[in-house]
Structure 1
């Protein structure tokens, strides 16, 4: 009774007698049912609204808190000279690089570099044991001849024979160095494709607009551009405020284990971890129009990498009395099951592409209005972010794989004779791992697909990265083995920050050279660069080739080419970055 009295007091505040009289109790109990239901429904609505709000906004999620204190699309101003003397120097350098004389010299520099076929092959042996590396001797001689001041005035350290490390000592040793990266090697040109080239792949033909040839855009333009910037500033008797480094590997196209890996180890051993303020390497999406605005799109992160070999071992036998499902047949079903279960696109603030889209929503005048509003809603709504991801993934495969893990079966092997059932067959599935995921997630997914779709159909065992499950008895049809392939697994890279002084100098230089109207938007790389070995050396790693849309074409394929106008602008960018290194 006391409990009822207290509750009723809350309902009848302000009355002298808190307890209802008998007649009042009867009237209360006899109220219509709707007077009970309506308050209950209102209370339920409030509770549900709180639950939904918590699910969509208040829920703790490390992927959603990334860079949450920054604006949706942070922009920093174009840099300007800090003094009249510096302004004079910058004007001189700009005039020199934009001159006809420099253009002709740069054209010859690029042509000579492209004409040396520094190809790297997947089956290359170690340096010193494989004569195919010898072509790099010719390339080094060419660089020394072409850039005499660089090789006479800077400290050159050969790393593992053909790796190039250049050090340009600065005035202030307290400032961490900048490091410019690139690679000397190019992907091979298959003989069967040579006839399809408009101009021979190592002719470095100049048609008045483009230099045609393998490596013109990936990435001898970067390597030559950096060295041209060095040489030009040395001609002006310039000494940088901070030390400037250049590191050029020679096997990036085959993962960099003999080149960039050795350079990074040398730098870490001699300078220590976190010893470099800023690293700029090839990559990114360059400078392009996005729905009516010009964007520079440096890569602030890279997806991970994992190759999984799937082996099916069966008893084999004569093809005249085959089982209903051969090893090849079972393997084909595994591949089919994997392809039938693709990863879902996901868009979170951890992914730099999320910021790319926020920048587009803020600055692209021609962006579809529904898409603009939904991207902006994604700042606080996971549901909206998923809508954006699904919409973009359905429209464009390239955008799709900026937001999800890819899986591609690239190698298949099995069978040596037409009348013999192979005892062992395998396929290799390549994965490029989304930034929100990890190698272990891909491994778990492969295991789950095979366990649920294959082991339920075939009495086999599964050895999934050392974990054995399924039918291991003598009645088993055979076994399936999941294991790593040749390439060492690589987790998604750390995402470089876009609020540091280094980033502000980097993006301010882009605008200083390429135009104050350029929007710099962090983006993501689906492939991997040599920077994967440099994570310990700097948190500020930016993958960016300063080339405008239409200025480079067909990297890794027929008719690769680079526009000379765009190359010259890239030289200006590298020179200006060096001069801006006095800022901290």
Structure 2
């Protein structure tokens, strides 16, 4: 009995120590290493004509700079049309900045600063838009390339991604130039021509800037938003992307003798391929609460409080529970692991012919703590001795580096964003898609991805989808944000 009592007392002591540790860690928990920008003195906004700005976005949406998967299908005259429209619509901005048009239609604008010892800033927004899915044109409330102004919004492909940013930047710069603003710190505006089809324009622009010795203090591009119904807090959050995932597409090929389908062997190329694809998909990368996703969860949990805060503050104890909750929805889970998505299959050209070669494409979005080498190694381990070949369709793009949440650039962006959403939680995040900004890493100390548009989770789903539209309220927020940011960080 005495031994049993000692064991019980020991167990009670362990529980008491654990409970005390949980209580202490919860009480002292706060997001680490994230500056709120409260020490930044923001410049005042400048006047502009919002009605004219809305008309301008409508006009830009009518120019069909559609990036097709096959560049030969692109109507390059539309890029010329857009660039001529920019020059005629924003004379003050074009009078203040020099313009370089690269051979591929990518634009580089430069507004020189009066103090050349100061590192410049780089702002980005791309010219191209994705196609409208054939057969869905009739599902739009308003024609996708009409730029219709209705219901307090501008409707059309690209109004959000990314002509809203492009026009918003020019509205802000034009207004600043008209007001007599003269930057001390130089400003570059880079507008890629093919962000939606690989981003070769941004690569070329970065190479040119590097050759000229440019090293910016920060770069800002599209990527994340102000989410008004953010999970965990069910409220607004300013979500600034500090990194983006890598990208790679793996081709899995099964070669076989082929032949007539009336006399199939025990294993065909298709069955070999199917088993290999399932083996790869059934060996997912584990959920990991780290990197930008962990910073985001910390910020949201600190706001939420209660048991959520307790769980995040004590991930050493509640880690498995947190991972189960985070993996409940694909959109949330994507921020915490490398994703594996089989997307395309190809086999025989005819139903009664056994293919001599069957292949599948598997798309990966690579988390910042993984690499393409990790992906290949895991895929090879998954297929084992299966008779398949694994190869990248094209050289994969590694994940971006993770930018600082305490730098001067972060503080400027955070302060400018908070000015318009003072009650929102400020949080870093991981951008799970791809942006042109990744190409600016060699010429910029930090790279951020944020647009000050206010969206619900449901509303954000129309980006790249049917009925894409920019609400006038969000567009105004965007112009004000860019004007404040430029005047504060370059002034």
Counting only pairs closer than 5 Å after superposition, residues 146-295 of structure 1 correspond to structure 2 as: 146-257=89-200, 259-272=201-214, 275-290=215-230, 291=233, 293-295=235-237
Residues 247-304 of structure 1, C-alpha deviations (whole Å, 9 max, x = no match): 00010001111x11110110111124xx100111001133424325431001101111
Cross-structure match for 1:389 = 323
Residues 491-529 of structure 1, C-alpha deviations (whole Å, 9 max, x = no match): 1111101111221122112122x1433321101111110
The verdict on how the C-alpha distance between 1:387 and 1:253 changes in structure 2, with shifts beyond 3 A counting, is same
Q: Distance in 1 between matches of 2:39 and 2:488?
A: 11
Q: Secondary structure at the match of 1:536?
A: helix
The verdict on how the C-alpha distance between 1:510 and 1:116 changes in structure 2, with shifts beyond 3 A counting, is same
Q: Secondary structure at the match of 2:343?
A: strand
Counting only pairs closer than 5 Å after superposition, residues 53-452 of structure 1 correspond to structure 2 as: 71=32, 74-77=35-38, 79-81=40-42, 90=44, 93=46, 96-97=47-48, 102-125=49-72, 132-257=75-200, 259-272=201-214, 275-290=215-230, 291=233, 293-348=235-290, 351-364=291-304, 369-378=306-315, 381=316, 383-394=317-328, 396-451=329-384
Q: Distance in 2 between matches of 1:207 and 1:249?
A: 29
Q: Secondary structure at the match of 1:408?
A: strand
Shifted more, 164-173 versus 316-325: the winner is 316-325
RMSD: 2.8
Q: Distance in 1 between matches of 2:368 and 2:264?
A: 45
Q: Distance in 1 between matches of 2:203 and 2:30?
A: 35
Quote how far apart the aligned CAs of 1:161 are: 4.0
Quote how far apart the aligned CAs of 1:213 are: 0.6
Cross-structure match for 2:26 = none
Higher-RCO chain (CA-CA 8 Å, sequence separation at least 6): 2
Alpha-carbon contact 1:298-1:542 (below 8 Å) kept:
yes
Cross-structure match for 1:65 = none
Cross-structure match for 1:556 = 464
Q: Distance in 2 between matches of 1:255 and 1:69?
A: 39
Unmatched tracts of structure 1, length 5 or more? 1-32, 58-67, 461-478
Residues 184-206 of structure 1, C-alpha deviations (whole Å, 9 max, x = no match): 00001133111111111001111
Q: Distance in 2 between matches of 1:582 and 1:304?
A: 31
Q: How many residues align structurally?
A: 477
Quote how far apart the aligned CAs of 1:385 are: 3.3
Residues 162-185 of structure 1, C-alpha deviations (whole Å, 9 max, x = no match): 111110111111111111101000
Cross-structure match for 1:509 = 416
Q: Distance in 1 between matches of 2:357 and 2:77?
A: 38
Of 466, 478, 485, which residue of structure 2 is paired with 1:570?
A: 478
Q: Distance in 2 between matches of 1:78 and 1:530?
A: 30
Cross-structure match for 1:493 = 400
Alpha-carbon contact 1:78-1:516 (below 8 Å) kept:
no
Q: Secondary structure at the match of 1:298?
A: strand
Q: Distance in 2 between matches of 1:392 and 1:570?
A: 31
Alpha-carbon contact 1:77-1:516 (below 8 Å) kept:
no
Alpha-carbon contact 1:305-1:490 (below 8 Å) kept:
yes
What is the TM-score when the length of structure 1 is the normalising length? 0.76
Residues 453-484 of structure 1, C-alpha deviations (whole Å, 9 max, x = no match): xx3xxxx5xxxxxxxxxxxxxxxxxx411000
Q: Distance in 1 between matches of 2:260 and 2:51?
A: 68
Q: Distance in 1 between matches of 2:52 and 2:219?
A: 27
Q: Distance in 2 between matches of 1:70 and 1:554?
A: 32
Alpha-carbon contact 2:243-2:429 (below 8 Å) kept:
yes
Q: Which has the larger radius of gyration?
A: 1
Residues 510-560 of structure 1, C-alpha deviations (whole Å, 9 max, x = no match): 122x14333211011111101121111123211001101247661111111
The verdict on how the C-alpha distance between 1:552 and 1:420 changes in structure 2, with shifts beyond 3 A counting, is closer
The verdict on how the C-alpha distance between 1:398 and 1:69 changes in structure 2, with shifts beyond 3 A counting, is closer
Alpha-carbon contact 2:31-2:299 (below 8 Å) kept:
no
Q: Distance in 1 between matches of 2:326 and 2:39?
A: 31
Cross-structure match for 1:536 = 442
Q: Distance in 2 between matches of 1:270 and 1:534?
A: 14
